[in-house]
């Protein structure tokens, strides 16, 4: 996953030799606990001081038949002693807990990479479920990789036997046995995992003890058994980092903290209305545990109720926030139009996934850009911003709140499944460095100067209307979704009123560009032969690919756009300084179309719609092709 913690400089790009990094993928059945294993290995890696990026990749089925390829769950982590921007193109190490996991993941492993397999699961029945005619551990089909296999299942049963667990419960500990071996391989401390297990199973100490025994047994196996020359202990030095307090965050965690921080900077209580949907649900989970920050969380009966409740909270003087993924955003469309018409602040978070319809609910995509910019009836523009990484989601959350409250408008904030689920180190910011933007509710100033008529749609220099709390003495007024008079807000069907209000709403959103920073260049020059333009979670692979291309002497720059609507004011001039433009996107070319439409530039698409993120190599190939 892209990281906002580090930006590679020209000096770093030319540094030789490169610092060390390793990509490890854990894969198994969805009941094998691979996400938990990966999460705890991520914790130990962060505590060791390495930079890292992760990619959880799990099936859409709630519980696919055990041992089948449909049920394979994987967790990939790239960690090292240098700045890490992606979860890695190809794993160096694959831990395969069953034949289906091997079948689904072996081809991703780099040639010469290491496979560690649980031979206890390679039974005739499991081989047949995975579609193998012969045992790949024995038939030579894995010859281009280094292969070690031993009976992890039996070794786990032996380790936890003293605790009297049933066979099924005992085998659930084998992810901890595997984690113990991985901790030994990369010289990691077990104590934080032990502490976590004791906390997790505080009410069932026998389970904590069994899992700790499995963890220790896996570690001891690596330490004492001669597994083979391929498996040895390897220490990865800490990555250089600015002094400060760091923690590992997922995009969902970071975004949750960001909108809380935004509400605090605005001086507002927050109402979060949501309906569970993958991959947006973790935002609701995180916020529900943070009510001490004057947050109300509401799990509604459906998507429409969730956004309408949030909009009602904004009408009442709270910061209304709602979240969903593409299908839920579609259901929220009418209420978004109501937010545009009533001109109330509202933050709408879209954690994108593969579509259309239910599509690929656990896979990542960037295919909701058209929906965010255009996807409402009538001329109903609203600002759209996009986070580029888990850490960056924090600042994007604050920015969405700032724009919504300053301009009295709904704001769409885009992330995706990759950002929401992935983790990276985050330097916890000093909130004293963030400028507050306190909200002022209307009092007598909303009255027409020459009489007592309330003017709820009188506008300030930003073209924003006043925010009037219900029940404010003397400021009673009508509000609703029917077209209104430009000043009084009274119902007005006239052609002149509709034309003027449509113009004002669009001009207000366009004026957001006055308070955002100019578009910068992430790496490279501000003019030249080729610009690689991206948005959202493509940041990491683009940044690394451009860095490598520039190290080879190619004239290429990386531009990454946060503000999609409106675009930064200088973007047109910046783009026209390049001879060629390519736009890598996990869709069929949506930002490319926007750039062509807005700026009449010959932006060329580089598309991927596989549900998987770009690799660095794919973008390197696109760069070479564009410059050929």
Instruction: Kindly state the average pLDDT of the residues 496-519.
Output: 97
Q: Where are the beta strands (DSSP E) in 457-575?
A: 528-535, 556-561, 563-565
Q: What is the pLDDT of residue 17?
A: 43
pLDDT, average across residues 465-486:
92
| Nearest by Cα to 559 from 589, 578, 84, 419 | 578
pLDDT tens digits for range 156-186? 999 999 999 999 999 999 999 999 999 999 9
- Using an 8 Å Cβ cutoff, are 346 and 407 in contact? no
Polymer length of the chain: 628
Q: Does position 231 have pLDDT exceeding 90, yes or no? A: no
Q: pTM for this structure?
A: 0.92
Q: What are the backbone angles phi and psi of residue 320, rounded to the nearest 5°?
A: -85, 130
Structure tokens that stand for 181 in this block: 């071996």
Nearest to 266 by CA among 397, 147, 371: 397
Of 58-67, 365-374, 589-598, where does mean pLDDT reach its minimum? Answer: 58-67
In angstroms, the CA 290 to CA 292 distance is 5
Q: Cα Rg for the chain, rounded, in angstroms?
A: 27
Whole-number Cα distances in Å, 78 to 275, 283, 621: 33, 24, 21
Do 104 and 136 meet the contact criterion of CB atoms below 8 Å apart?
Answer: no
Q: At 272, is the secondary structure helix, strand, or coil?
A: strand
Backbone angles phi, psi at 20, to 5 degrees: -80, 140
Residue 611 has pLDDT above 50, yes or no: yes
**Higher pLDDT among residues 528 and 65, named by residue:** 528
Q: Which residues contact 456 (CB under 8 A, 6 or more apart)?
A: 442, 446, 465, 466, 468, 475, 477, 479, 488, 489
10 pLDDT more than 60:
no
Contacts of 402 (CB under 8 A, 6+ apart): 262, 265, 266, 437
Q: Which of 385, 420, 38 is nearest to 254 (CA)?
A: 420
The pLDDT tens digits of the residues spanning 109-127 come to 999 999 999 999 999 999 9
Question: What's the average model confidence in pLDDT over 77-97?
Answer: 95
Closest to 456 (Cα-Cα) out of 291, 299, 368, 341? 341
Beta bridge partners of 250: 423
- Would you state the structure tokens that stand for residue 482, as one six-digit string? 């029917």
Lowest model confidence (mean pLDDT) among 15-19, 353-357, 381-385: 15-19
Q: Is omega for the bond preceding 194 within 30 degrees of 0, making it cis?
A: no
Residue 449's CB is within 10 A of a number of other CB atoms, namely: 8
Q: Under DSSP, is residue 596 helix (H, G, I), strand (E, B) or coil?
A: helix
Mean pLDDT for all residues in the chain = 93
Give the model's pLDDT for residue 451.
67
Torsion sign (Cα): 261, 262, 268, 274: negative
Helix 174-185 / helix 205-224 crossing angle, nearest 10 deg: 40
Q: What are phi and psi of 350, to 5 degrees?
A: -115, 105
248-283: pLDDT as tens digits = 999 999 999 999 999 999 999 999 999 999 999 999
- The pLDDT value given to residue 337: 98
Instruction: Encode 543-563 in three state secondary structure.
Output: HHHHHHHHHCCCCEEEEEECE
Please state the φ and ψ torsions of residue 221, each to the nearest 5 degrees. Answer: -60, -45
Strand order in the sheet with 603-607: 556-561, 528-535, 578-585, 603-607
Name the burial class of residue 168, with classes exposed (0-12), middle (13-18) and buried (19+) by CB atoms within 10 angstroms of its CB. exposed
387-417 core/surface letters (b: 16 or more CB in 10 A; e: else): bbbbbbbbbbbbbbbbbbbbbbbbbbbbbbb
Give 445's pLDDT tier (boundaries 50, 70, 90). low
- The C-alpha atoms of residue 366 and residue 249 are separated, in whole angstroms, by 21
Contact (Cβ atoms closer than 8 angstroms) between residue 94 and residue 106: yes
Question: What residue has token string 């380790």?
Answer: 159
How far apart are alpha carbons 417 and 361 in whole angstroms?
Answer: 9
Axis crossing angle, helix 251-266 with helix 392-407, rounded to the nearest 10? 40
The secondary structure element, H or E, covering residue 22 is strand 21-29
pLDDT exceeds 60 at position 467: yes
Q: What is the pLDDT of residue 335?
A: 98
| pLDDT per residue as tens digits for the range 332-367 | 999 999 999 999 999 999 999 999 999 999 999 999
Cis peptide before 246 (omega within 30 of 0): no
Convert the pLDDT of each residue in 417-436 to its tens digit: 999 999 999 999 999 999 99
Residue by residue, DSSP assigns 334-354 as HHHHHHHHHT--EEEEEEE-B
Mean pLDDT lowest among 82-86, 501-505, 555-559, 563-567? 82-86
pLDDT of 5 over the 80 cut: no
- State the angle between helix axes of 251-266 and 281-288 in degrees (0 to 180), rounded to the nearest 10: 50
The predicted-structure confidence for 184-217, as pLDDT tens digits, reads as follows 999 999 999 999 999 999 999 999 999 999 999 9
For residue 558, what are the β-bridge partners? 523, 532
Q: For position 225, what pLDDT does the model report? A: 79
Task: Answer for the pair 215, 176: CB distance below 8 angstroms, yes or no.
Answer: yes
Q: What is the mean pLDDT of residues 3-28?
A: 63
Q: Which two tokens stand for residue 627?
A: 């410059």
């Amino acid at each position: 996953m892209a990281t906002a913690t580090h930006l590679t400089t020209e000096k770093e790009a030319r540094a030789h030799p490169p610092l060390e990094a390793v990509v490890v993928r854990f894969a198994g059945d969805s009941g094998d606990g691979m996400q938990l294993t990966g999460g705890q290995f991520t914790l130990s890696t962060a505590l060791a001081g390495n930079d890292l990026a992760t990619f959880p990749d799990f099936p859409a089925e709630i519980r696919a038949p055990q041992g089948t390829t449909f049920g394979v769950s994987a967790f990939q982590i790239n960690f090292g002693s240098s700045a890490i921007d992606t979860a890695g193109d190809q794993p160096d190490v694959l831990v395969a807990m069953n034949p289906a996991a091997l079948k689904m993941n072996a081809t991703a492993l780099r040639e010469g990479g290491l496979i560690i397999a649980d031979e206890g699961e390679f039974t005739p029945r499991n081989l047949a479920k995975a579609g193998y005619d012969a045992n790949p551990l024995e038939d030579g089909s894995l010859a281009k990789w280094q292969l070690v296999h031993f009976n992890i299942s039996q070794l786990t049963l032996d380790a936890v036997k003293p605790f009297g667990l049933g066979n099924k419960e005992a085998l659930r500990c084998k992810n901890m046995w595997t984690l113990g071996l991985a901790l030994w391989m990369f010289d990691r401390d077990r104590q934080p995992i032990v502490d976590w297990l004791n906390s997790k199973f505080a009410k069932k100490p026998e389970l904590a003890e069994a899992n700790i025994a499995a963890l220790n047994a896996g570690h001891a196996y690596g330490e004492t058994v001669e597994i083979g020359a391929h498996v040895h202990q390897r220490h990865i030095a800490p990555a250089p980092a600015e002094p400060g307090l760091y923690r590992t965050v997922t995009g969902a965690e970071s975004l949750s903290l960001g909108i809380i921080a935004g509400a605090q900077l605005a001086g507002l209580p927050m109402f979060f209305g949501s309906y569970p949907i993958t991959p947006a649900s973790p935002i609701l989970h995180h916020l529900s545990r943070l009510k001490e920050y004057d947050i109300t969380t509401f799990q509604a009966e459906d998507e429409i109720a969730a956004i309408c409740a949030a909009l009602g909270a904004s009408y009442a003087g709270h910061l209304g926030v709602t979240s969903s993924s593409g299908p839920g955003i579609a259901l929220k469309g009418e209420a978004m139009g109501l937010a545009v018409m009533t001109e109330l602040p509202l933050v709408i978070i879209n954690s994108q996934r593969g579509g259309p319809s239910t599509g690929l609910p656990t896979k990542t995509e960037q295919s909701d850009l058209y929906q965010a910019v255009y996807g409402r009836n009538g001329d109903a523009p609203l600002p759209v911003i996009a986070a580029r990484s888990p850490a960056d989601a924090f600042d994007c959350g604050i920015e969405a709140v700032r724009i919504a409250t300053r301009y009295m408008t709904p704001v769409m904030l885009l992330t995706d499944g990759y950002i929401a689920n992935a983790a990276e180190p985050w330097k916890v910011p000093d909130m004293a460095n963030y400028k507050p933007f306190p909200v002022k509710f209307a009092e007598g100033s909303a009255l027409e100067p020459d009489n007592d008529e309330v003017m709820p749609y009188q506008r300030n220099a930003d073209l924003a209307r006043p925010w009037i709390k219900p029940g404010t003495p003397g400021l009673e007024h009508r509000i609703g979704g029917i077209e209104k008079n430009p000043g009084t807000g009274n119902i007005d069907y006239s052609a002149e009123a509709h034309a003027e209000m449509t113009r004002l709403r669009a001009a207000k959103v366009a004026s957001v560009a006055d308070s955002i920073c100019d578009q910068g260049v992430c790496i490279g020059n501000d003019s030249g032969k080729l610009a690689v333009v991206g948005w959202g979670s493509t940041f990491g692979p683009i940044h690394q690919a451009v860095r490598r291309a520039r190290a080879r002497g190619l004239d290429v720059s990386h531009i990454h756009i946060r503000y999609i609507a409106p675009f930064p004011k200088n973007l047109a001039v910046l783009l026209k300084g390049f001879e060629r433009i390519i736009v890598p996107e996990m869709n069929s070319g949506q930002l490319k179309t926007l750039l062509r439409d807005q700026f009449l530039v010959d932006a060329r698409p580089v598309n991927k719609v596989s549900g998987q993120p770009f690799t660095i190599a794919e973008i390197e190939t696109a760069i070479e092709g564009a410059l050929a």
